[in-house]
Structure 1
Amino acid sequence: MICEKKSKRLEIVRSLVYEMQSNFKNQRAWAQLSGVSTFASMLAMRRGQDSEIAAIAGVLHDFYFYKTGINTFPGHNSADAVRPIIRSTQVFTDEEMSVILRSIFYQEDRHRVHGPDEEVIKDAILLQTYFQKTGNNFLKTDIHRLQNVFIELGIPEENVDMESNVDAEALNRKSKDRRLMLADFAEKLAGQNIIGVPENERYREICKYWPDSEIYKVLEGNWCAAFVYYCCMQVGILLPIRYPNRMYRLAGVGAWLDWAQLPETRFFYDAKQEEFNPSRGDIVIFEKLLSDNSHDHIGIVLACEDNKILIAEGNIDNKNCSSVLFRDRDHCILGYVRIDNGYHYQFNGEYIPFGC
């Protein structure tokens, strides 16, 4: 079947993506995907790589933005959003799917060198950005990379005349108390008594990070973790929708527990640790509070008063609405997540697309 459909695979993928344009009508985004796809095909052909696979990776490279309108972690989020799509086509081998997803995933990691397929997409994105004159400033590493591509293509490198960009947000990151910002934002948001239905504007905002076509229905009555994720993103605690190589997305409580216990975070504190006292801006994870399932609820701590904690929650008690309420500190609490104010998401490991 794969051999029979191979010649039409790019057309199949392009059609699938373009059909989704009704969900996010952005001709500029489509032009970006198409442009990168064309440059990727050309570079792959020149470098002896599979030009068809490169073109497909190119047309999918920024799928997350195309679907949601959000440009945070385009590589990591797009790879995650694309996985079920390329599987559903049933026209790729496991190896080809891995190449496509890895090429998408590593697109932002341009200061390092990966495999030849991944490098094609990185360079294709820079070429598209340069020739479209999008007004983006380039990092110094990108300028050097683009100069090398120009030399490869026989274009005088002096044509790369751009200003380098400085990540001002990174410089200011440690100066902010983002946990307090998280609590302030969550308290105000939860107090609006959001109802988890598509007609509610605030609920739609909370759901906007998740690329699933039926996300409003998927999260209905189950959006406490999505509430926490939304609040974190709004105050600059930026995370991809799924930590690489993990089983669940951060729309689920289990994913938050898993992420907080990683060797590179170690943000989780067991509720039984006597020396730990929860404070404003911590995240609380409950254990069998609303069901017989482990880690079944999550919220953001606003205050701790004796044996009570004040919490901002989405989907309180599975009633599909948000609120601010007191809960017993000694009842069904698994532990707390205290995110370091200087934390900045960075993944330096090996991405294994279908490892979980």
Structure 2
Amino acid sequence: MKRYIEIEKLVYQEIEKNCFGNKKRNGYRHLFGVSQLCRLYSTHFQLDQGLCAIMGLLHDYSVYKNNTSFNHAVLSSELAEKLLKETLLFDEKEIEIIVEAIKNHSTKNKRHDRYSELLKMCDVVDSYLHEPEMILDHDRKYYLEKWRKLDE
């Protein structure tokens, strides 16, 4: 939990420094929402709860740090890698798991490792929960259905 709190502080600082109004509100809502969903469902998929919470927290980091969503999965993965290494709180394998999931999270039309798949699902679910009328493409529907089946 200590590691999560340290990363959370850094994310708060970036959002406070770089975002205003709706962008700030959406940043807090989405990053922390996806993080909590990842934490919640990590146990169902037998994944490390702490790593899942952190990958959720950082998955769109560049959107709020750089104020653009262009190539945000790759840019967020690069920023996350740098940030995680600088904290000295994570080993190489942990960093690799988090960075890979973040890098893959926007590629909803391909299947990846279990951490990436969890992050994709939680990203879609969080967006859906805040905008249930949104139009979902085939790939996002896949992740929403995957989530719905968890409760069956």
- Report the TM-score when normalising by structure 1: 0.40
Distance 2:134 2:58 in 1: 21
Distance 2:93 2:44 in 1: 22
Larger C-alpha radius of gyration, 1 or 2?
1
- 2:8 is the alignment partner of 1:14: yes
Consecutive unaligned residues of structure 1, counting only runs of 5 or more, are: 1-6, 155-356
TM-fit CA distance, 1:122: 0.4
Matched ranges for 1:250-261 at <5 A = none
1:52 aligned residue (50, 61, 64): 50
What displacement does 1:42 show? 1.0
Per-residue CA deviations over 1:59-106 (Å, capped at 9, x if unaligned) read: 000000011221122211111122211111100010000001001000
In 2, are the aligned partners of 1:24 and 1:68 still within 8 Å (CA)? Answer: no
Q: How far is 1:152 from its partner?
A: 1.7
CA deviation profile, 1:139-159 (whole Å, cap 9, x unmatched): 1121122112211223xxxxx
Q: 1:190-216, CA deviations, whole angstroms, 9 ceiling, x for partnerless residues?
A: xxxxxxxxxxxxxxxxxxxxxxxxxxx
Once residues 134 and 77 of structure 1 are traced to their aligned partners in structure 2, the CA distance between those partners, rounded to angstroms, is 28
| Alignment correspondent of 1:34 | 32
Which structure shows the bigger proportion of residues in helix conformation?
Answer: 2
Q: Report 1:236-275 matches (<5 A).
A: none
Output the amino acid matched with 2:99: L
User: 2:129 corresponds to which residue?
Assistant: 131
SS in 2 for 1:49: coil
Between structures 1 and 2, the one with greater strand share: 1
Aligned to 2:147: 149
Deviation at residue 58 of structure 1 after TM alignment: 0.3
**Alignment of structure 1 residues 224-239 onto 2, 5 Å:** none
Aligned partners of 1:61, 1:50: CA distance in 2, in Å? 16
Give the Cα separation in 1 of the matches to 2:123 and 2:107: 12
Give me the identity figure in percent: 20
Partner residue of 1:313? none
Contact 2:32 2:57 in 1 (8 A): yes
Counterpart contact for 2:18–2:67, Cα < 8 Å? no
**Counterparts of 1:118 and 1:69, CA distance in 2:** 24
Q: Does the 8 Å CA contact 1:79/1:102 hold for their aligned counterparts?
A: yes
Give the TM-score taking structure 2 as reference length. Answer: 0.91
* Matching of residue 63 in structure 1 with residue 57 in structure 2: no
What are the residue-to-residue correspondences of 1:1-356 with 2, within 5 Å? Answer: 7-20=1-14, 21-25=16-20, 26-133=24-131, 136-154=134-152
Matched residues in 1 for 2:64 and 2:134: separation?
Answer: 18
1:49 Cα offset (Å): 0.4
Cα distance in 2 between the residues matched to 1:50 and 1:142: 24
For residues 23 and 110 of structure 1, the distance between their equivalents in structure 2, rounded to whole angstroms, comes to 28
Secondary structure of 1:108 counterpart? coil
Query: How big is the alpha-carbon RMSD for the aligned residues of Structure 1 and Structure 2?
Result: 1.4
Contact 2:121/2:143, CA 8 A, preserved across alignment: yes
Contact 1:106 1:118 in 2 (8 A): yes
Residue deviations 1:299-337, cap 9 Å, x none?
xxxxxxxxxxxxxxxxxxxxxxxxxxxxxxxxxxxxxxx
Mapped contact 2:120–2:143 kept (Cα < 8 A) = no
Task: Figure out how many residues of one structure are paired with residues of the other and give that number.
Answer: 148
